[in-house]
């Protein structure tokens, strides 16, 4: 055995095509709705999850995967992988990292032939997903496990995330979105722009209109990565595919994209941000 298996959670907003192409294992976040448990990304689509939100948001809850769920993934992957690299969403926003680490300690005893490494991405959504993709591609190129880890760490250092909320009505739901976003929205009819810094979601700007908010996001992106060097970009949306497609077309024209794709904004995140949210994750080619 020599292959490295890459594992991440469903908050990473990877497409099924990416997961299948690179053999990335997705450990789903659990969604609880009206007495039933659904595995995000597996048991229901993002569109179906948003219908649940419309129907009865007060009965919607979520939880991180348990250590047992991560351990099960390690056990299955150990059949062909000598190394397992796990990339989770920020430990300051979820218990995913803790669960993955607990499972790692158990795996040391149960799977001594396998090396498990867990990385806290310190970010969310497709920013986390781009880190997982960078690691999986490094493995596909035949790089050693240490180099795969180094690639993931480098992507983690450079990846950025920004999103534009359609509304502030739902930001109170999880307690993970800055209160200032809700407070400003309650006083002024604005759309907050959020990013992630040091593992936490932060309020960075606001716009009175969505078009203007999109312009501000693109301006932030230009300031971070420029327009000439190759970049990797994921365009995210919360049940706003047409707007995401238009945003993707603009990015394709204005930036030098080595990779550019559209993906659904995780319903777990959409629960806090509301439908209509648009987001970008990006970094310069390593």
Query: Considering the domain boundaries, does residue 59 fall inside one?
Result: no
- The domain that contains 279 carries what CATH number? 3.30.1180.10
| pLDDT, average across residues 219-247 | 96
Are residues 206 and 137 part of one domain?
Answer: no
Full strand arrangement of the beta sheet holding 81-88: 25-27, 3-9, 81-88, 115-120
Domain co-membership, 232 together with 141: no
pLDDT at 188 over 90: no
Give the domain-ending residue among 98, 132, 158: 158
Quick one: which of 150, 146, 128, 143 has its CA closest to 7?
128
**Claim to verify: residue 202 and residue 253 sit in the same structural domain:** yes
186 has pLDDT over 70:
no
Domain assignment present for 138: yes
Q: pLDDT class for 179, splitting at 50, 70, 90?
A: low
pLDDT digits (tens, 9 = 90+) for 107-140: 999 999 999 999 999 999 999 999 999 999 999 9
Could you report the per-residue pLDDT of 78-98, keeping only the tens digit for each? 999 999 999 999 999 999 999
pLDDT at 139: 96
Q: Do the domain assignments include residue 82?
A: yes
Domain assignment present for 45: no
Both 82 and 166 in one domain: the answer is no
For residue 85, which of 7, 1, 2, 3 has the smallest C-alpha distance?
A: 7
State the residue range of the domain holding 144.
3-29+64-158
Integer Cα distance of 192 and 183 in angstroms: 10
Is the predicted pLDDT of residue 216 greater than 90, yes or no? yes
Instruction: List the beta bridge partners of residue 117.
Output: 85
Q: The tokens of 147 are what?
A: 């180099």
Question: Does the model's pTM come out above 0.85?
Answer: yes
Condensed to tens digits (0 to 9), the pLDDT of residues 152-163 reads 999 999 999 999
* Other C-beta atoms lying within 10 Å of the C-beta of residue 132: 30
Is 229 in the same domain as 91? Answer: no
């Amino acid at each position: 055995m020599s292959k490295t298996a890459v594992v991440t959670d469903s908050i990473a907003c990877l497409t099924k095509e990416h997961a299948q192409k690179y053999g990335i294992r997705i450990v789903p976040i659990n969604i609880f709705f009206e007495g039933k448990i659904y595995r995000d990304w597996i048991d229901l689509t993002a569109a179906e999850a948003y219908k649940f939100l419309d129907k009865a948001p007060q009965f919607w809850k979520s939880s991180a995967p348990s250590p047992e769920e991560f351990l099960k993934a390690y056990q299955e992957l150990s059949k062909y992988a000598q190394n397992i690299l796990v990339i989770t969403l920020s430990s300051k926003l979820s218990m995913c990292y803790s669960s993955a680490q607990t499972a790692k300690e158990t795996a040391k005893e149960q799977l001594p032939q396998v090396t498990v490494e867990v990385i806290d991405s310190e970010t969310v959504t497709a920013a986390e997903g781009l880190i997982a993709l960078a690691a999986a591609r490094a493995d596909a190129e035949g790089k050693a496990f240490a180099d795969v880890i180094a690639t993931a760490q480098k992507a983690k250092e450079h990846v950025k995330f920004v999103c534009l909320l359609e509304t502030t009505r739902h930001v109170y739901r999880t307690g993970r979105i800055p209160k200032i976003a809700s407070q400003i929205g309650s006083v002024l009819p604005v759309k907050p722009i959020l990013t992630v810094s040091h593992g936490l979601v932060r309020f960075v700007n606001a716009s009175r209109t969505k078009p203007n908010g999109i312009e501000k996001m693109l301006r932030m992106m230009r300031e971070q990565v420029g327009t000439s060097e190759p970049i990797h970009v994921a365009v995210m949306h919360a049940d706003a595919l047409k707007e995401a497609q238009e945003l993707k077309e603009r990015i394709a024209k204005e930036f030098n994209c080595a990779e550019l794709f559209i993906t659904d904004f995780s319903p777990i995140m959409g629960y806090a941000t509301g439908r209509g949210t648009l987001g970008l994750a990006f970094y310069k080619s390593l």
